[in-house]
Amino acid sequence: MNASPQLRLRCPAQSRSVAPIRHALRAFLQAIGFDGDCLDDVTTAAGEALANAVEHAYGDDAESVPFVELHARIARGKLAVDVSDRGSFIERERLPGRGFGLRIIRAVAPQIRIDTARGTSVRMRFHIPKR
């Protein structure tokens, strides 16, 4: 039985964690054959979901250790990328030029599902590029 390649990361929910997770995802995707626009779309969408989790999931009085998780894998013939946290949504002050994360994700991910039952989980599915 061949196991599908996958990447699973769990890091502190801090802004400085977003870039290293995004870079690890990019390297993983390149290793399994993603390039060009497909590579950019997936890393952009995941980066937006990660940034949203870091900014909106945890308040200053979080009882547990705040973290964010990324899980990327091939599932049912598509690339599945999940970004999740265990916080509760914290409304932040709206700033000009901000608030486009979900719009960007929806623009580049063919499928997206957001689950807020236990924290927030953003489940994105992407087509696998033809080789």
Structural domain boundaries in the chain: 6-127
Find the farthest-apart pair of alpha carbons in the chain and give their distance in angstroms, rounded: 51
Q: What is the pLDDT of residue 75?
A: 86
Class of domain 6-127: alpha beta
Per-residue pLDDT of the chain (131 residues; tens, 9 = 90+): 457 899 999 999 888 999 999 999 999 999 999 999 999 999 999 999 999 888 877 766 555 668 999 999 998 889 999 999 988 765 556 656 656 788 899 999 999 999 988 888 999 999 988 76
